[in-house]
Amino acid sequence: MKKIKTEKKPIYIKFFKPYGVLCSFTDPEDRPNLSQYILQPDVYSAGRLDMDSEGLLILTNDGEINHRITSPQHYLQKIYYVLVEGNVTSENLELLSSGPIIKGSYKTRPCNVEKIPDPLFQEREKPITPHGPINWLKIILNEGKKRQIRHMTAAVGLPTLRLIRVAIGPIKIEGLKPGEWELISESELTGLKKDLRI
């Protein structure tokens, strides 16, 4: 008897990754990871956030969507709220937006940067202890190098204290608290596919 291949139903999840959680479902060192929050089997993170960063992750079992979200050829605009230490000047903002040099030689692409009021996110479990004035920035990137924002703010004398990704393309984190997830809506998915040219 011929076995009929059944296709898996595509699943698209948006998750507010808390501080201190790995973007994987297993860890040999038994550190906090996605398995403690998301019980849906066979989904994988489309892109990553550092353990010490927070915010939006997209998880899916759709291999094409996953590949396109993480591919530089289809790079989606990503929005971050960044708490920095130091006095933010127009010169800082200009240096950040024009693309500072990080890691010694790489000049980052121009991006949008503005100073914003405190977005009033829930306090994280590990408290932040600044040694000087603090300010929030909104940074919109069109590329994604490893720990890029932290390197960028350090390069202009504004070390990052907290970093929260709030949007990936049309997918936003609004309405979710750290550790919460929900299925991506049909309208959000349509917008995402349009941005990814699917």
> Residue 15's closest CA among 48, 63, 64, 62?
48
118 is annotated as an active-site residue: no
Q: How far apart (Å, rounded) are the C-alpha atoms in residues 63 and 61?
A: 6
30, 50, 52, 62: which is the annotated catalytic residue? 50
Q: Most distant CA pair in the chain: distance in Å? A: 72
Q: Give me the amino acid identity at 67.
A: H
Q: Which helix (H) or strand (E) holds 90?
A: helix 90-98
- Tell me whether residue 80 is exposed, middle or buried, using C-beta atoms within 10 angstroms of its C-beta: 0 to 12, 13 to 18, 19 or more: buried
Q: For residue 178, what is the DSSP state? A: T
**Residues involved in catalysis:** 50
